[in-house]
Amino acid sequence: MSESGGSTNAYEALPHVHPEALVVYCGDPRLQTAFVPFIEDELGLAKGQYIPTVVGGGAGALAYPQRLPKEFKFMKDRFELIHRAFPSVKRAVLINHEDCIYYRLLAEKIPGFLVGDAAKLRDRPGEDLNLIAGVFDRFLSHFGFQPEFYYGRFIDANHTKMAFDHVCWQ
Ligand SMILES: [Zn+2]
């Protein structure tokens, strides 16, 4: 055993969990201080009760199965793994947020794909929730997760505070 690699600190683990939700959200470091309290306090999911699936773009990674098939497959495979490993998971919480850097990068990388001015692009992740709901119905509903959609938006000019809207369609 290597002496240099060992740590004397002990961190708590949860040996018996029955997570009820998987939660997809963006890895943007600006927003982790908003996402985690939203999930834990507002959605009422304590650590161990949910499976964080943190990827650049959040739920946006599911939006374009035809244009971005590798992104979609990566996500779908994770859903399948979670479904098999944790049958207690019944909810899929899908979060997108305003001014997502993933969307900006896609717009630069794939000319003509996410067309529109900067202001439109900033709100595109919210508009895409509708698309994502359709994709979920078509390609992901067989896992038996009940989907929920949320949109995180900035509520102050300096982008230091966020609120989350529960997005539903009638
Ligand atoms: Zn993002």
Give the helix ranges, DSSP H, for the chain. Answer: 32-37, 69-85, 101-109, 118-135
The model carries a pTM of: 0.93
Distance 124 CA to ligand 1 centre (A): 11
User: What CA–CA distance (Å, rounded) separates 48 from 34?
Assistant: 19
Domain ranges of the chain: 21-167
Give me ligand 1 centre to Cα 7, in Å.
Answer: 33
> How many Å lie between the centroid of ligand 1 and the Cα of residue 49?
23
- Cα 144 from chain centre: 18
Q: How far is the CA of 11 from the centre of ligand 1 (A)?
A: 29
pLDDT of residue 162: 97
The band of 117, judged by pLDDT with boundaries at 50, 70 and 90, is confident
- What residues contact 98, with CB distance under 8 A and at least 6 apart? 122, 123, 125, 126, 151, 152, 153, 154
Distance in Å, CA 16 to ligand 1 centroid: 31
Q: What is the pLDDT of residues 24-56, one digit of tens each?
A: 999 999 999 999 999 999 999 999 999 999 999
Locate tokens 């900006």: which residue? Answer: 104
C-beta atoms surrounding 78 within 10 Å: 16
User: Could you tell me the distance, in angstroms and rounded to a whole number, from the CA of residue 8 to the centre of ligand 1?
Assistant: 35
CATH level 3 topology of 21-167 = 60s Ribosomal Protein L30; Chain: A; (3.30.1330)
Spatial CA neighbour of 132 closest among 51, 81, 76: 76
Dist. CA 134–CA 114, nearest whole Å: 18
